[in-house]
Chains A and B, each alone.
Chain A
């Protein structure tokens, strides 16, 4: 055999036994990595909206906050809304952009790769920015009426130096531990949902690199 034989065999390959679907509805849901990423994005978008609604509505149903802690709660929530809005706008743009298969292979690959990479970075920043706020919101809700007292106690202890060092150390260690665990979790979560697709795209891009 040689390549001419192979071409002849290739051209003669029969397609009589191949059936195409009679309508497009019968086709399975798309399976490509790009579509999987889009599916995950959709899921994430709705999860974000649900969490936001829960955070906004929680003080109404869980009536344990004093007026002061309610103001503190909604102020924190507002600061969280800004990076979230930025993320959601970017998400919307990204979602609409990533599916250009009719351009050449290199451009198509690059487009998906860089869009995905850019999106992951925004996602990370957003998570890192909102996670301490989420923790504080949870703390306020958990402490309820005691929020003011606890805050006063912490401030008092710090100012009067009465057990202040120990208290501050405990707070810093607990906060750092929780944040570190959260960041590890975010890294793992992003890798599961998007990282493996990025790695796969990276490998294929390597194959297309110009030979020096």
Chain B
């Protein structure tokens, strides 16, 4: 039976489930691994829930725990010997032209991300979530200047990888 604390926690996770899903997609290349990581993040969030200081935002705390979990996590050894990427469709059937284009961009983005290092993925994540260099540095435990240089390199690498897929960037 769920306790009040568990219900409160699950309600907060429900509100931010999209972020956990995005992090799982960033760090894992196939659906099975993504689902495993998704569950793992929820589990680790729950295990660390007592450390959540209610004076800060839940999302801020959650980003940190979720990313640390993803960084420390790695695939099961027994699974697929080598990565098999799902094909990216040339066009996506649903929605208007704009949303089709956005989905296609994301598909290329997630595929390119798989070739980045774990820390580079975290840098890109914080960048897309509009974190400043200072905040990125604080969250990763590095200096602001270092965060700036590393983010710039990660963005360039990502750009190159997307271009290698034949997509305009």
Q: Contact residues of A with B, CB < 8 Å?
A: 1-3, 5-10, 12-15, 18, 20-24, 27-28, 30-34, 99-109, 112, 200-201, 204, 207-208, 210-211
Contacts and interface: CB of A to CB of B under 8 A. Distances in A.
B62 to A, nearest CB: 9
23 contacts: A5-B102, A6-B109, A9-B102, A13-B106, A18-B21, A22-B2, A24-B10, A24-B46, A27-B42, A28-B40, A30-B40, A31-B76, A101-B72, A104-B140, A105-B64, A105-B68, A106-B142, A107-B141, A108-B72, A109-B72, A201-B72, A208-B140, A208-B142
Contact of B39 (A21, A105, A208): A21
Contact of B118 (A7, A8, A107, A207): A207
Contacts of A23: 2, 6, 10
B134 interface: no
B18 A101 contact: no
A44 to B, nearest CB: 20
Given A24-B6, A28-B39, A207-B120, A18 B150 contact: no
B68 A31 contact: no
A170 B133 CA distance: 68
A105 B67 contact: yes
Contacts of B102: 5, 8-9, 12
A104 B138 contact: yes
B164 to A, nearest CB: 14
A1 to B, nearest CB: 5
B69 A101 contact: yes
A112 B119 CA distance: 16
Contacts, number: 146
Contact of B69 (A24, A28, A32): A32
B18 A15 contact: yes
Nearest to B24: A18
Interface string B10-39: 100110011001100000000000001001
Contact of B68 (A10, A27, A101, A201): A101
A32 B169 CA distance: 35
Contacts of B117: 207
Contacts of B73: 31-33
A106 B103 CA distance: 33
B142 A210 contact: yes
A3 B105 contact: no
Given A6-B128, A9-B109, A204 B118 contact: yes
Contacts of A27: 39, 42-43
Contact of B140 (A1, A33, A106): A106
Contacts of A12: 99, 102
B139 to A, nearest CB: 6
Contacts of A20: 10, 13-14, 17, 42
Q: Which of A9, A30, A106 has the most CB of B within 10 A?
A: A9
B51 interface: yes
Interface string B128-160: 101000000011111100100110000100000
Given A34-B72, A201-B72, 8 more contacts: A6-B109, A12-B99, A21-B10, A31-B36, A102-B65, A105-B141, A108-B68, A210-B142
